[in-house]
Structure 1
Amino acid sequence: MVIDGAFADLGETGDAGRPGHLHRRAFLIGAAAGVGALGLSGCMSSDARLRREAAAFYGPIPEEKFPVPATDIRKVKTQYLRQTVKYASTEAPGTIVVDPANYYVYRIEGEGKATRYGANVGRQGFLWSGEAYVGRKSEWPTWTPPKEMIQRDPRAAKYAGGMPGGPDNPLGARALHLYQNGVYTLYTIYASRYPATIGTNLTSGCTGLLTQDMIHLYDRTPVDTKVIVLPA
């Protein structure tokens, strides 16, 4: 799996009028422009407000085994910041839904709501969909590139025995490993330290969340949680 670019494969003058006289057409155009400006101002204010509220989610986490710095959310489009959204679903609360087409991961909360996280997802040719479950959870996990990746990118060969967990590890601070029928699918939801990658296709099939979002999801997700990966 090529993740976050760690390897090439690893895997932002009009109408005339008398002097001093406001022509009716000019007035209507001006009024329309004013409404547009007000609308734009409202959007910008809402965007700024959302960023201010979201900033509390993405501060530093110094108590971690490897201290986590604050995420620069200026590099993340507003829609990909953590939010509680309306989401109609018949799935049980706690279920995770990965929507690679729209770069979102949802955690179903019930009562028509979900927590929505922005994500990066797999490139064409590395997309996977289906139902799975969290078979294993890991903090600061070891990353071992599959042999197919090593064949595509020999730079990964030095990690054939596993890259220890740490801030430079492609899997980051947390990972949820997805299984089907007791078999690891190689599909992982992991922590990304590169905010500019959220909302892009760059991995070899895995899904990355901002580190603070991944820790938030990880803490609320027990082993055996159902995961639905939608088609891209």
Structure 2
Amino acid sequence: MMTQFRRHAAHRLALVFALAGCAVPDQPLSPAEPVLEPGIAAHYAALTDGEIDVPSVPAKYLSERNIRREVDYWTDERPGTVIVDPWQRFLYYILPENRAIRYGVAVGDEGRAFSGTAHIPYSRDWPSWRPTDNMIREFPDQYGPLRDGMAGGLNNPLGARALYLHRGNRDTFYRIHGTSDMGSIGNATSAGCIRMFHQDVIELEGLMRSGARVVVLTEAESGKGTVLPGAPIPSNIPPTATIPPEGGQP
């Protein structure tokens, strides 16, 4: 009798464990983040800039196309020139001997609407920002409280640096600036100019001289400089599907 009782108890216990196994499915393993080269990891590490602690860029945002790279680039522009390709979403800082530093960027509608040449007479560290009158008028609930402006900081849409493009003495209202919306880099966005990782825009500002020349390519010129002069430019423009702005990011 005792043996039969033990046999039934063991059977019930096994059934409980079996049901428990059905009720709790195996959890999928999270994909491992890519392992970064030491130099890349160091460049995108956390840093202190003035009184602001800038977080590191997570490896999941640092795809090969987004990270800072020194690349071949054939152009007649002088070293120190900045070339923006809004359609491939790259910014190039021109170096001597057909080389350039390439940065992945995010580009908004305003960034694709501007082309040609300009210069950067000045930049600002952790600049303040104010939505335009049109933004306030069209989205009063979102932008009305900011009509007096937003102080500089990590939550400010212009981020760590803003580089202001002018033609002659006139502001073009075209900006190259930092962003805390790291997931936007490498993408087209529905609003804004040219966004960069904080670490990249801080480096870029440090490289540039006041009055630096800027060339913004048209869609027809996209890819220019990435191949030898006279060679056909590959039609490798990435998809232009847009992602919405995060927190009113310009």
TM-score bracket relative to the smaller structure: 0.7 to 0.9
Residues 177, 119 of structure 1: CA spacing in aligned structure 2 closer, same or farther, 3 A cutoff?
Answer: same
> Which amino acid in the other structure matches residue 88 of structure 2?
N
Using the TM superposition, name which of 52-61 and 185-194 deviates more. 52-61
Calculate the TM-score normalised by the size of structure 2: 0.69
- Which one has a bigger Cα radius of gyration? 2
Which residue does the alignment assign to 2:23? none
The answer on whether the counterparts of 1:128 and 1:205 sit within 8 Å (CA) in structure 2 is no
Distance 1:94 1:163 in 2: 32
- Mapped pair 1:128 → 2:121: no
Which residue does the alignment assign to 1:55? 41
| Partner secondary structure for residue 54 of structure 2 | coil
Distance 2:175 2:85 in 1: 14
Higher relative contact order (Cα pairs below 8 Å, separated by 6+ residues): 1
Q: 1:203: Cα distance to partner?
A: 5.1
Please list, as runs of the form range in 1=range in 2, the aligned pairs for 1:143-158 lying within 5 A after superposition: 143-154=129-140, 155-158=142-145
Match of 1:208 among 189, 195, 206: 195
Residues 108, 203 of structure 1: CA spacing in aligned structure 2 closer, same or farther, 3 A cutoff?
Answer: farther
List, as ranges, runs of 4+ consecutive aligned residues in structure 1 with deviation greater than 6 Å: none
| Partner secondary structure for residue 52 of structure 2 | coil
- Mapped pair 1:75 → 2:34: no
Query: What are structure 2's unaligned runs of at least 5 residues?
Result: 1-33, 220-250
Calculate the TM-score normalised by the size of structure 1: 0.74
Query: What are structure 1's unaligned runs of at least 5 residues?
Result: 1-47
Q: Which string of whole-angstrom CA distances, capped at 9 and with x for unpartnered residues, describes residues 121-145 of structure 1?
A: 0138962112111022100001111
Distance 2:208 2:110 in 1: 28
Q: 1:50: Cα distance to partner?
A: 6.0
Which residue does the alignment assign to 1:184? 171
Distance 2:44 2:64 in 1: 13
Q: Which string of whole-angstrom CA distances, capped at 9 and with x for unpartnered residues, describes residues 180-225 of structure 1?
A: 1111111100001222111111153410011100000011112210
- Percent identity, aligned pairs only, is 34
Distance 2:146 2:181 in 1: 21
Please list, as runs of the form range in 1=range in 2, the aligned pairs for 1:1-232 lying within 5 A after superposition: 51-123=37-109, 127-154=113-140, 155-202=142-189, 204-232=191-219
The answer on whether the counterparts of 1:76 and 1:198 sit within 8 Å (CA) in structure 2 is no
Residues 112, 125 of structure 1: CA spacing in aligned structure 2 closer, same or farther, 3 A cutoff?
Answer: closer
| Partner secondary structure for residue 178 of structure 1 | strand
RMSD: 1.9
Distance 2:111 2:166 in 1: 20
> Which amino acid in the other structure matches residue 87 of structure 1?
Y
> Which amino acid in the other structure matches residue 97 of structure 2?
E
Which residue does the alignment assign to 2:232? none
| Partner secondary structure for residue 135 of structure 1 | strand
